[in-house]
């Protein structure tokens, strides 16, 4: 006798994979071209990542090789997220290497999430998608970008900027950062951490972290502030002052602060706050601890302090943050677009 459908257990199968299309343009950089496949493709089937060119033909890279994407521009109409990796931008160009690139981009459906890495922002800007918005690209291209796209609020000092529907990242490794950021937004810190471990990369670098840090190569005897950062992370729930950190590093507070800034791009206080928020987000997503307990576990003096810092960083209260990611469950197939004021990483 067939089982009554009402008595059948609820399906635990995962929703369909989120469709990601990587648009490879002429002069594409091979390293960054592979980042979405490597990072998003490590999320255990949560993303379906494919590559397209403007005509379905082979694409010349900026190295001594060509690549042949598996798709033409028509696949862009199926995308839920489109990633534009960097490409060579000639000094005398308008920033778009091929007029067909804009035509290809026009196939993208309204509401599709757009992500650029490095010079990929030039294509988004040429399409008018960044006008009046804060965005970033590689710091070395600042003057060229501003000359071509004066309507864009360029911030060359950060790793990436997230407006929810449009994200722009700086060069090379920041492409990894922004892809991990997408995984964390879509599926939470647990999955993002698993992906980071699979790719053997740090699980999180704040988008507002300095893009370029002027720092000499340390000598063999120069151990820096790394051991003190590890020490602080091991006791994150405890109050830690600048003087204590400097004493642990056997430096004066002035020298320690300077060295810390050189090595991380952040002040010691800002770095500590970021680490506490990172752990707080993890606890909010992965536990049922009350907000007051979460605040205590990560070193904030009060729940009010946690609420204030999380609101400044993510634009939401702890309870709202928990509801958002708990509602995501094992992984949604689409990302809710958030207002820029709530999602743009801050320095």
Query: Active-site residue numbers?
Result: 118
265-270 long-range Cβ contacts below 8 angstroms, 24+ apart: 265/209, 265/210, 265/213, 266/209, 266/210, 268/242, 269/242
Name which of 91, 112, 90 is nearest 23 in CA terms: 112
Identify the sign of the CA torsion 38, 39, 44, 48: negative
For residues 168 and 83, what is the distance between their CA atoms, to the nearest angstrom? 10
Q: What is the DSSP letter of 36?
A: H
Name which of 143, 146, 111 is nearest 125 in CA terms: 146
Residue tagged 């601890």 (tokens): 289
For residues 1 and 138, what is the distance between their CA atoms, to the nearest angstrom? 65
Residue 24 in tokens: 């490879």
Residue tagged 């067909």 (tokens): 100
CB 301 within 8 Å of CB 278:
no
For residues 95 and 122, what is the distance between their CA atoms, to the nearest angstrom? 5
CB atoms within 10 A of CB 30: 14
DSSP code string of 276-296: HHHHHHHHHHH----HHHHHH
Q: Are strands 47-52 and 160-162 parallel, antiparallel or unpaired?
A: unpaired
């Amino acid at each position: 006798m067939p089982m009554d459908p009402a008595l059948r257990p609820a399906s635990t199968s995962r929703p369909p994979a989120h469709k990601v299309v990587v648009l490879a343009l002429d002069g594409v950089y091979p390293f960054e071209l592979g980042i979405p496949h490597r990072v998003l493709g490590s999320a255990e089937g949560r993303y379906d990542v494919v590559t397209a060119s403007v005509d379905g033909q082979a694409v010349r890279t900026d190295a001594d090789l060509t690549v042949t994407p598996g798709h033409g521009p028509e696949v862009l109409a199926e995308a839920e997220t489109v990633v534009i990796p960097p490409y060579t931008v000639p000094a005398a160009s308008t920033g778009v290497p091929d007029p067909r690139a804009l035509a290809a981009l026009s196939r993208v459906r309204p509401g599709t999430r757009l992500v650029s890495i490095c010079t990929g922002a030039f294509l988004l800007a040429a399409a008018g998608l960044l006008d009046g918005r804060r965005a970033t690209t590689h710091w070395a291209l600042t003057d060229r970008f501003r000359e071509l796209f004066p309507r864009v609020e360029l911030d060359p000092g950060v790793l990436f900027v997230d407006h929810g529907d449009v994200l722009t990242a700086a060069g090379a490794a920041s492409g990894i950062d922004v892809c991990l950021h997408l995984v964390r937004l879509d599926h939470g810190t647990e999955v993002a951490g698993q992906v980071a471990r699979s790719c053997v990369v740090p699980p999180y670098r704040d988008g507002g972290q300095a893009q370029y840090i002027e720092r000499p190569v340390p000598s063999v005897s120069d151990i820096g502030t790394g051991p003190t950062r590890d020490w602080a992370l091991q006791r994150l729930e405890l109050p830690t002052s600048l003087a204590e950190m400097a004493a642990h590093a056997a430096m004066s507070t002035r020298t320690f602060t300077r060295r810390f800034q050189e090595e991380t791009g952040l002040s010691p206080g800002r770095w500590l706050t970021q680490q506490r928020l990172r752990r707080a987000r993890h606890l909010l997503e992965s536990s049922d601890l009350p907000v007051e307990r979460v605040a205590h576990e990560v070193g904030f003096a009060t729940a009010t302090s946690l609420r204030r810092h999380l609101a400044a960083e993510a634009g939401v209260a702890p309870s709202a943050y928990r509801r958002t990611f708990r509602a995501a469950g094992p992984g949604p197939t689409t990302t809710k677009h958030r207002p820029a004021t709530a999602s743009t990483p801050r320095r």
